[in-house]
Every structure is written in C-alpha cells, then in structure tokens.
C-alpha cells in the first residue's frame, strides 16, 4: 500500500493543483438555480463558464455570471443588456437601448413592466434575465448596475441535460 501511495501521490497532488487553478481562474462548472433565464436556461442546467474573458470583450446578449449586488457571495447568471454609456429603457413591452428597440428572439413573453430610462455608468453593466417577468435583475435591484469587478465569467457551453447541449 505504501508503494502505491508513494507512486501516485505526486500525480494526485499535481492533479489537485491543476484542478484548483482551472476552477478558480480559467473555467468553472455552474448549475442554474432558478427560472430567471427560462427558456434559454432551465433549473438544473449545467454550464461551463469562461473566467478568462475580459470585461471589454463582452458583447450584448452574452450570458454572464457575476456576484450579486444584493446578497454577498451569491452569484447570478443573466443576459448582458447594457454597458457603460448606454441608456436602457423598457416601455410598451419592449426593451430599448439608446433609443433603439432591441430584437430579442429568446423571449417567449412580452415584458409586462416599465423601467427607466437609466444611463449605465462607465465600467458598469446592466443585466436582465430572459424570463423577464419573473427575474430578479437590474430592473429590480436598489442599484441596477454591476461593477466590472463583480463579473466572474461568460457562459460558453451547456453540457447538461444532454438533450440540450449547446455552445453559447
């Protein structure tokens, strides 16, 4: 038994170190905890997020994981709607960015609330869930913006359930 342990211990140690680095700095598996991103993401869907993405490389419509602006340590996953300098408004069931109505093919219901207009501060982001009428997101938070330091990563791949595997 000692020889087995002696032979495998260095490999096990290296594997643990690599796993730690991968999980904390490169990519991470996450499980969807709520219905806020339905129909795009369902409860218990499992995703890989890219933690190496730079905030300036994010694009409108990206699905992003970030630290909650309300509950310390909690993480949210939402769709990026606005970046610093954008004016966001929701009226008559539609989302507007900088005065232009945004086409959102991922929504299955029209939005049943009004919001804004608000100007997104520099180095901040505005996020909404795809299940707009049931999502606790930027339109409800006391401070509706997420600072770039709170960003964790971008969703890149859904690997479970197997019937819904998808690259984002």
> In the chain, what are the domain boundaries?
2-161
Asked if omega into 48 is within 30° of 0 (cis), the reply is no
* Residue of 82, 88, 43, 46 lying closest to 62 (CA atoms): 82
Query: What gap in Å lies between CA 36 and CA 78, rounded to an integer?
Result: 8
- pLDDT number for residue 5: 66
Q: What percent of the chain has pLDDT over 70?
A: 96
Query: What gap in Å lies between CA 24 and CA 20, rounded to an integer?
Result: 6
Higher pLDDT, 73 or 126: 126
What residues act catalytically? Answer: 36, 78
Query: What gap in Å lies between CA 133 and CA 119, rounded to an integer?
Result: 22
56 confidence band (pLDDT: 50, 70, 90): very high
Is 14 a residue whose pLDDT tops 90? no
Is 10 a residue whose pLDDT tops 80? no
Q: Rounded to the nearest 5°, which phi and psi values hold at 149?
A: -65, -20
Walk across the sheet containing 94-97 and list its strands: 100-101, 94-97, 87-91, 115-119
- pLDDT number for residue 166: 95
Which class in CATH covers the domain with range 2-161? Answer: mainly beta
7 confidence band (pLDDT: 50, 70, 90): confident
- pLDDT number for residue 168: 92
Which residues partner with 120 through β-bridges? none
13 confidence band (pLDDT: 50, 70, 90): confident
* pLDDT, tens digit, 9 for 90 and up, residues 100-133: 999 999 998 889 999 999 999 999 999 999 999 9
**Among 16-20, 108-112, 140-144, the least confident range:** 16-20
77 confidence band (pLDDT: 50, 70, 90): very high
């Amino acid at each position: 038994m000692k020889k087995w342990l002696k032979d495998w211990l260095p490999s096990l140690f290296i594997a643990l170190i690599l796993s730690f680095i991968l999980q904390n700095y490169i990519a991470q598996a996450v499980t969807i905890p709520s219905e806020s991103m339905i129909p795009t993401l369902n409860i218990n869907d499992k995703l890989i997020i890219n933690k190496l993405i730079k905030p300036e490389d994010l694009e409108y419509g990206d699905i992003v994981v970030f630290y909650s602006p309300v509950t310390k340590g909690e993480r949210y996953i939402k769709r990026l709607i606005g970046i610093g300098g954008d004016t966001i408004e929701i009226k008559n069931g539609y989302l507007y960015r900088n005065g232009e109505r945004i086409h959102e093919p991922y929504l299955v219901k029209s939005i049943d609330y009004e919001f804004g207009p608000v100007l997104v501060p520099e180095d901040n982001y505005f996020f909404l869930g795809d299940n707009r009428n049931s999502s606790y997101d930027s339109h409800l938070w006391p401070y509706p913006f997420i600072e770039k330091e709170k960003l964790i990563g971008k969703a890149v791949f859904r690997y479970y359930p197997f019937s819904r595997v998808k690259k984002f």
